[in-house]
Structure 1
Amino acid sequence: MEASDAGPTRERPAGVTPLTITVVLGLAAAALLGVGFVAQQHAAYTEPLGEMLRLRLLLDLIHKPLWLGGLGAMIAGQVLGALALHRTDVARVEPLLATNLIFALAMAAAVYRERLGRWEWLGAVLVSGGVAAFLLSGEPHSGGPPVSASVVWVAMLVTLLTAAGLVVVAVRVTLPIKAMLLAAAAGILYGIQDVLTRDSLVRMGRTGHGPAWLLTTWQPYTLIMVAVVGLLLSQSAFDAAPLRVSLPAATAAEPIIGIVLGVAILGERLRVDPPALAGEVAGLIALVTGIVILGRSPFLAKSEQGASRRPERRQK
């Protein structure tokens, strides 16, 4: 059980628990991320294909108000996600952040004034049910034994090499596959970013130092580099294909990598008895399946219609 950060003399309103606050923060973060992704892809899809994987892509996008608005929503979502991570473990927050695709779908449906179909509802139920099943079955919690520095570096290296491998393969394939691979690589980096955020907050609280102390550690600098590269990869994926192709892979990769690294690096623990494992696996399968279904929604595909004058639709 988690101890309350509020202290024994501070009362919360009836019915409001630490878990409730975490869920609200996580879902609010997911909503902002979904809005940000829709706006960013709408702007990035108009950029020339030759700018994929180049910093020039980001330099061009920062001159577009729509993209800047999407970036602002994404940053706000990450801040709320960091607040949720400050309160509890990565394995509890990551599945909540994965619901950002539901909010992206809802935003697209509102913009184009069309009703959601049965496949969209099925995807939403699978994502929400998958999140609930994983949290209830796994009961993720901290308290595992300390992880050695060598294990941390090996886990980080393997994860980064996996993302790099996806990018290398993406350079040599067709646009739809390229978009999915680049998005998956971005999702991996976002998962690393979430774990580094949690690790930095835990270390700061454990030592009792202020935020300035973090400048003497390696985590914040690595986090910034990972965030910038992840942003470039996600925008390159958005440049290559509509959201129905480019977003699901990132949304699925981030929680999976975040949960795995939370266990491997932060010493977080899940229940491992057979019934719990069955529920965790079923929850993750439902989560990924729902993300794939929602990602193929025609509402998300309609962001392509705003790019009728897209320049240079040819690969370099």
Structure 2
Amino acid sequence: MRDVLVFAFAVSAACCLGIGFVLQQNAAQRAPMSDFLSLRLLVDLVRMPRWLAGIGMMVCGMGLGAIALGQGEVSLVEPLLATNLLFAMALSRWQTRQPLGRTGWGGLWLLAGGVAAFIVAGRPHGGDTVTDPLRHWLIIGVMVGGALAMAAVSKRVRMSVEAPLLGVAAGLLYGVQDALTRVSGERLSEGGWTTFFLSWQPYGVLVLGVTALVFVQSAFETAPLRLSLPALTAAQPLAGIACGVGFLGDRLDTSPGALAWEAAGLVAIVIGIVLIGRHPAMPSGSSEFDRVRDLQPH
């Protein structure tokens, strides 16, 4: 019963996130380029009703995801959250009236099959949380440091490259945020509100969330959704699983056969995400506007 609830909350979260991302990109592509990678971008976007609707959907998704993370392992919830791209695809297809075709159906089945293969083969389950603080900070440092480095590099490359870089950077931060959300929930349930507010993890969740939001909106602002959302969707579960197994005590089946299926599942997830993200149904904004932006240096 517990796993059924985790599945229901995680998939509902994915639905809200996917719809929210599409609405946010529709609005962010109209923001001025002078706001790139700046908090001013959020100030300008907050005046757009469609963006606010997208943020509302994303907040609902994060809330449902937090409930799923509180009930299940990160390595179980993260692959399910990756299905947000299916819901983004459904909304985009409804907007554009584009048929799925072989690419769309192939991506859909690879993503769904990859999630199923990883969960069935890995059988994620809880274990003892790693208490070594060095291991915690090493994993978090690699993820956050890598994300910040990608954001810094994105300012020096073509816009067709910077959107995927920012998507990966945001995905890494969201993966770490999900792990810290799980820890924050444990602090609250074990020690109450005093322990919760005296812990650093809730504030880490807030800082990571705002930083990732700026990265995501900047990516949405500079390029079509098909360039940024697949990168974000692929990076988040990989980062979350790394944190779950690395320091949250999540356990996966490590027999040779299971490891092979887990690896195949993760590869299928990434390939499916890329195929879906590059499908013509995914919103591309104004093609002329995008071509001009791609030719212009920062």
TM-score range (shorter-chain normalised) is: over 0.9
Q: Give yes or no for contact 1:130–1:284 (8 Å, CA) kept in 2.
A: yes
- Which residue does 1:262 correspond to in 2? 244
Q: CA deviation at 1:202?
A: 2.1
**Aligned counterpart, 1:210:** 192
Alignment-derived partner of residue 56 in structure 2: 72
Which of 94, 105, 108 lines up with 1:124 in the alignment?
A: 108
The answer for the alignment partner of 1:44 in structure 2 is: 28
SS at match of 1:210: helix
Asked if residue 220 in structure 1 is aligned to residue 193 in structure 2, the reply is no
Distance 1:210 1:144 in 2: 21
Q: Partner amino acid for 2:213? A: L
* Separation in 2, partners of 1:79, 1:65: 21
Deviation at 1:309, TM superposition (A): 7.5
Which of 68, 88, 94 is residue 104 of structure 1 equivalent to? Answer: 88
The verdict on how the C-alpha distance between 1:210 and 1:144 changes in structure 2, with shifts beyond 3 A counting, is closer
Distance 1:250 1:113 in 2: 25
Superposed CA offset, 1:179-228 (max 9, x none): 000110000000011000011112333x2x33453111100111100000
Secondary structure at 2:127's aligned position in 1? coil
- Unpaired segments of 5 or more residues in structure 1? 1-16
Q: What SS does structure 1 have at the residue aligned with 2:283? A: helix
Q: Give 1:301 shift.
A: 3.4
Partner of 1:201: 185
* Greater displacement, 112-121 / 178-187: 112-121
CA-CA distance at 1:142 after TM superposition:
1.1
CA contact (8 A) 1:151 1:264 kept: yes
- The structure with the greater share of residues assigned to helix is 2
Give the TM-score, by structure 1 length.
0.90
Identity %: 44
1:141 aligns with 2:161: no
In 2: Cα distance, 1:228 partner to 1:145 partner: 27
Query: What value does the CA root-mean-square deviation take over the aligned residues?
Result: 1.6
Structure 2 partner of 1:4: none
Q: Give the Cα–Cα distance (whole angstroms) in 2 for the partners of residues 79 and 195 of structure 1.
A: 14
Using the TM superposition, name which of 153-162 and 76-85 deviates more. Answer: 153-162
CA contact (8 A) 2:187 2:195 kept: no
In 1, Cα distance between equivalents of 2:297 and 2:23: 24
SS at the partner of 2:281?
A: helix
Q: Given residue 218 of structure 1, which amino acid in structure 2 is its aligned partner?
A: W
Task: Name the structure 2 match of 1:165.
Answer: 149
Q: Compare 216-225 and 43-52 and name the one that shifted more.
A: 43-52
Letter in 2 for 1:160: V
Count of matched residue pairs: 295
| Structure possessing the higher radius of gyration over alpha carbons | 1
Q: Which residue of 2 aligns with 1:6?
A: none
Residue 171 (structure 2) pairs with residue 177 (structure 1): no
Give the Å deviation of 1:147.
Answer: 2.7
Alignment partners' CA distance in 2, 1:300 and 1:278 = 32
Instruction: Give the aligned residue type for 1:167.
Output: A
C-alpha contact 2:109 2:272 (8 A) present in aligned 1: yes
In 2, Cα distance between the equivalents of 1:76 and 1:64?
19
Give the whole-Å Cα distance in 2 for the aligned partners of 1:52 and 1:19. Answer: 41
Alignment check: 8 A CA contact 1:36 1:74 kept: yes
| Residue 234 (structure 1) aligns with | 216
Amino acid at match of 2:6: T
One of 246, 271, 294 as aligned partner of 1:289: 271
Offset at residue 27 of structure 1 (A): 0.7
| Partners of 2:198 and 2:187 in 1: CA distance | 12
- 1:279 lines up with 2:252 in the alignment: no
Q: Is the 8 A contact 2:33 2:221 kept in 1?
A: yes
